[in-house]
Amino acid sequence: MQRPIQCPHCGNDITDEDALLCLFCGESLKREIGVLGKLRANGIIIVFLVLLAFALLAVFL
């Protein structure tokens, strides 16, 4: 079982794992949404790797 997270605004515990807004104050819990939201932090690295892969394919083909 996962520990409840705390709202960054009001400090109340949120036990709903799928909640995007605080149930008490209504503010955002700053959670990533979906696959693309979770890749946001690593977005620059992923774009760089894709461009590098295309460059290598262009050189060797």
Tell me: the pLDDT tens digits for 2-60? 677 888 889 899 888 778 888 889 888 877 666 666 666 567 788 888 999 999 999 98
Say what the pLDDT of residue 55 is: 95
Say what the pLDDT of residue 53 is: 95
Q: Can you give the pTM of this predicted structure?
A: 0.47
pLDDT exceeds cutoff 60 at 1: no
Say what the pLDDT of residue 2 is: 67
Q: Which of 13, 7, 4, 5 is nearest to 27 (CA)?
A: 7
